[in-house]
Structure 1
């Protein structure tokens, strides 16, 4: 593995629990792959410009690839194409992905560029690779404690599949709006889930973890 693309969709940036855990995991990966290149896209500190009418028009024009309005889209798709692994850290906002991540999706999920529409449905054009998604939420959306639905997981799974990415692993940090014990339990459960990843040696993950914002 030569490169990893980290997409951080948390408004807390690197101070979120999911981001801290991702960086901890990345440090361990780098011990296994010393030359690993990190391609980082922080959607909070580097917000993407909104899509406009020119972009919408270019999607259906004859200049499908030549139009300059695709500059940002090409940059983001290029980061995906360069990476051997994708790591997404995202909160769950109102049952699904936050607006910043949705905008990133709208830039990279592009007809005739990252997928084709066929009589059998949309077919992804990107090379498959491992994708890890760390999802943080203030409440619970799985198991007996669930008090809200989860539209994020099926939506993001469909998006990634449409790109051609099927090797997916979701890790959840739930109950982060509760007390410190609940937060520590969530972090430890997520860390354990990451230990089970075939991308990382179980005994290589550092144990310390700092208490930060959710």
Structure 2
């Protein structure tokens, strides 16, 4: 029986991708580099640190990785604070409340930085529903490496076979499956160039899920 639901954040709980994209594009212009749409799509599910480690190698950037990360984060934070039309994805808050009220443990496992996670959780009053929040910045390798989901299951004190992951990215789905966790792929209109073929179940709206449907997954 499922005891813990592990949520990704960007593209699952809230669509901050346009804000991230804006911040990255602004920074790429400052760095005078051109990143193709295909390369950018491959970043989905990776931590900012890992992305800039890749970019530093590919483009031989002179700045150190931490400086690159902080510059992009500042651009993101400024854009995030100024963006008024930022909402939770349709139906996800209802699902979170339904699961929480019925005693399901909820964990966040996001590639976003801790400060970004907290910014979003404070803005949308989500802290009371989740027992733990895990950030990809605390791991040397990003999704598709399974470390973040294995840590989430460990914090939940739940065997992986009693967990599920809700993910919207190719890398996230690969990470969940590598961790041995049942994965629900969320294929929304926000998703770009992602592969859901390895997900155990694919949904396009959160009204397809409930405490009852999730509890009985095996």
Normalised by the length of structure 2, the TM-score is 0.37
Quick check: which has more Rg, 1 or 2?
1
Structure with bigger helix share is 2
Structure with bigger strand share is 1
Give the structure, 1 or 2, with the largest relative contact order (CA under 8 Å, sep 6 or more). 2
